[in-house]
Structure formats: structure tokens, C-alpha cells
A and B are shown apart, each in its own frame.
Chain A
Amino acid sequence: MVSGLINENPTVYERKERRVRTDSTNSDEFSVEPIDQLEIFDILFFDFAFINIHHIRDIRDPEHPYSLEQLKVLTEDSVEVDDLKSYVRVTFTPTVEHCSMATIIGLSIRVKLMRSLPPRYKIDIRVAPGSHATEAALNKQLNDKERVAAALENPNLVEMVDECLSPSFE
């Protein structure tokens, strides 16, 4: 193992079995269905177009070849969604209290949702209460859209985010 990692030996959890979506009841492609919690979770973990050919696009941990789900940074319950109000809140749990990668993880979640959801969505990203040493500062930074915009003009940061969002073949 390369030394100097923030969390050298993270606990890796089993992937959850996916619930199967049955969309057979609704064949009208123009009907509008509300976006629900599971769908947001799927957006965070899959690329819709390739969902059936095992081309999984988990958001990866910046340090480890595991997905955020495997590290329990995100679970299905991390996602609160209110489609009527066009509102999503994702609460993630960094693997260690002093995780300096938490900003990149939060930014990656935001970018993934920004790219996947309709623009009308208001997105709040937070770390779970008590899960990080600089929780308040982190939350503030992740939800300041000016700083997010500025960060996304930084090629090095964008590269890190894209790396987290890049496809992993398994």
C-alpha cells in the first residue's frame, strides 16, 4: 500500500442488491414521473444508459479503488428528495473524521447531480452530523455556489472530480 493515505485501511462493505424497477405500468414516454430517492441514488451510482450492461459508474473514492457505496460514504438513506419542490439533499459520511478528501467527495457528488438532474433542482450537499472535524466549514464551502463555480474552473480540481466520476469496469 502506498504510504501517506488519509485512511490507509478503509472498511469495505458489500454492495447492496439493487431494487428492480418495474416501469411496465407506464409506457407513455411523455408522462412525467416524479424523481424519487432511489432514482437519485441510481444517478449517483450508475449511468442510466448503461445500467443494463454492467457498465457501472460508481463515484469512486479519491484514494481507493472502491465506490463511495462500498465505503459507506453514501447509502440510499443519504438521499432526501422532494421532486415537487425540485429539491435534493445528499448527506455523506467521510470515512475518517479528518478526511481532507471530503471536499473532493462532496464536490464530485454535486457535479454528478448537476450533470444528471434537470437544472430546476436545488441541491444541498452536507456531511453527516458529527462525521467530520470541520463539518460546518465543509458544509458552507460545498454549498457556496460561487466557490463551487470557481473550483470547477480549476483544471486540477476538475481532473480529480472527473477521476472520481470516471467509469470503473468490474
Chain B
Amino acid sequence: MDLMEKLELVELPKLEGHTDRVWNVFWNPVSTLPILASCSGNNTVRIWEHNSLSHSWSCKTVLEETHTRTVRSCAWSPSGKLLATASFDGTTAIWQNFGDEFECISNLEGHENKVKSVSWNAAGSYLATCSRDKSVWIWEVLGGANEYDCAAVVNGHTQDLKMVQWHPTMNVLFSCSFDNTINGHSSTVWAISFNAAGDKMVTCSDDLTLKIWETDIAMMHSGEAYAYWTHLCTLSGYHDRTIYSAHWSRDNIIASGAGDDAIRLFADGPSYILLLKKENAHDVDVNSVQWSPGEENRLLASASDDGMVKIWQLATKQ
């Protein structure tokens, strides 16, 4: 990417409907038409769809009456056919798309407390969840059937977990926590995101920094030795409030969403620079930012405490 090009985020019509804060957004990874899921403090999930004829966005369906508390996190399976949703009610629901309707086909119980995050591995064969109860559960998806077996319970964190995220190509799971780990941050780590190659990741924190980490991906693939992740750089001085979300695009732009209502874009190395800052992207805190999966038509979705989901088009200034 030419760093000299002047970028801007053009706001498309906002997606209104949630009656409480929106915690998380997740693009369907395979759909040819852009499809976005969003989840909220009003215990519901909304599926938004872009209509290419009318160039408009609409809420296709509302997933409700399954979760009885805040839905904190949502994630599409790699096939795009299943949606997993994690809730403060202690359960994780699996929804299947039957053409016009979504049906809850499974409800994973086991955590003793609020579920904070859910993530599918690249093959769609494992699902990870994490909770306020300090544990990470790994669920095995049994072939064909709507069955999920608990394959492992991992206790390692000393505090509330915030997010689990599988590596984009390998079966390695990452988690971050209120206990400040991934090590190096001085306060709660809220999110993790990987670049497409999987040799770098970004973490964001309540300590107002983004940190970039790097590993030897060849060594990681060989499995001969434990591949360490080394700290590459810290982006500090850019954010005024807690950074709740960071997402790495396929063309190497890192987006961040923060408690100062702004969205920022950073370019990947060798020197990490601020490409743009969108002040007042939302009226209040930005909880989640996520790039659309497509190579073209770069879209960024954002979710906020103001109950809004917004779609931004990354464009070059005329």
C-alpha cells in the first residue's frame, strides 16, 4: 500500500435497531453479499445484509429469546453457515442459517459465569470460549451432527478473561485478560488480532497502547520448537481512553476502536504510523471495529455504546 495516499473513512448509512449498547460486530467470512452480525446489551443479535440493487443495508433478522442476558461476542464459522454467540447468561449458542431463518441448534453450557468471547479455529473444527470464571473451554465440533464436545478446559489466567482468538492458520489459541496478560501490557488487554500471514499480531489495552508482536511463522509451522512471540513495537500516545478493539486488515491496516469515541487507522511497518483518526466516529465509546473479509471494497464496521452499528468505506481522497 502506498503510505502517501490520502485515505478517508466515508460513513455509509448507519444501522439502527439495537436498543442498548452494541458490544461486537463480525462479518460473514464467505458471503458474496456483505453480511454482518452484531450483538448487544439488549440480549439480541442482529444480522445485517447489503442489498446490491438498492445499495442499502437492512436488518435481515433478529436473533432473540435464546440469551437472557447481554450478548457479548459473536463469531461466524469459517464456512459462514454457523454463528456462535457468547452471553453473560453463561451460555454460548450456535445458530444455523436455514435460508431465510436462523435457528439455535445448540446451546453450550459449562462456564460458571459470564461468557465473554467466542472464536472458531480456521478449519471450523474447534470452538473456544472464555469466561469471567477465568477458564477457557475448547469445544470439538463433531462431524455432521450438531454436537459439541468439551475437549479441554484450560485454567491459566488469574482474572476475568476478555477475549479468545485462534491463530488464522494454526491450531494455536490466544487469550487476553483483566490480569494484564498477554504479558507486557500494564492494564487489561481487551483484544487480539492477527495479520493475514499469521506472523504478526496486535493487542490493545486499557493502558492506552497498541502492541505489535511477531513470530517466526516457519518455526511455528514446523512444530519443532516452541515459536516465541516477540514484542516488536508499542504504539503509545495516540489514544486518550481505553482501547476496546483492534483489527488487522488483509491489506495490513490496523484499525482501533476506543473509549474516546474515535476510530484510528495505522499502517503496518517497518514504521507504524497513524494513517487517519476519525474523531467522533460514534457519539460514545467504540467497542468493536472489524474489516470486511473481501479484498475489494474495503469496509470497516464499528459498534458503539450509542446502540449504533456503522459501516465505513475506506476510500482515497479525491
Contacts and interface: CB of A to CB of B under 8 A. Distances in A.
B41 A149 contact: yes
Contacts of A150: 70, 88, 114, 132
B285 interface: yes
Interface string A131-151: 000000000100111110110
Contacts of B206: 140, 143-144
Interface in A121-165: 122, 140, 143-147, 149-150, 153
B241 A144 contact: no
B33 to A, nearest CB: 32
Contact of A145 (B178, B260, B285): B285
A65 interface: no
B72 interface: yes
Contact of A140 (B72, B187, B283, B284): B187
B306 A119 contact: yes
B185 interface: no
Contacts of B116: 146
Contacts of A143: 206
B69 interface: yes
A136 to B, nearest CB: 10
A52 B69 CA distance: 39
B188 interface: yes
Interface string B12-25: 00000000010000
B163 to A, nearest CB: 11
B188 A122 contact: no
A164 to B, nearest CB: 23
B188 A153 contact: no
B262 to A, nearest CB: 12
Contacts of A122: 241, 259-260
A153 B305 CA distance: 16
A153 B70 contact: yes
Contacts of A149: 21, 41, 70, 88
Interface in A29-69: none
Contacts of B259: 122, 145
A19 interface: no
Given A140-B178, A146-B162, A120 B283 contact: yes
Contacts of A144: 178, 188, 206
B160 interface: yes
A147 B160 contact: yes
A150 B306 CA distance: 18
Contacts of A119: 283-284, 305-306
Interface in B35-57: 41
B111 to A, nearest CB: 13
Contacts of B187: 140
A140 B185 CA distance: 14
Nearest to A136: B187
Nearest to B23: A146
B29 to A, nearest CB: 26
Nearest to B241: A122
Contacts of B88: 149-150, 153
Interface in B276-318: 283-285, 305-306
Contacts of A147: 160, 178
Given A119-B306, A153-B70, A153-B88, 5 more contacts: A140-B206, A145-B305, A146-B116, A146-B162, A150-B88
28 contacts: A119-B283, A119-B284, A119-B305, A120-B284, A122-B241, A122-B259, A122-B260, A140-B178, A140-B188, A140-B206, A143-B206, A144-B188, A144-B206, A145-B259, A145-B305, A146-B72, A146-B116, A146-B162, A147-B160, A147-B178, A149-B21, A149-B41, A149-B70, A150-B70, A150-B88, A150-B132, A153-B69, A153-B88
Interface of A: 119-120, 122, 140, 143-147, 149-150, 153
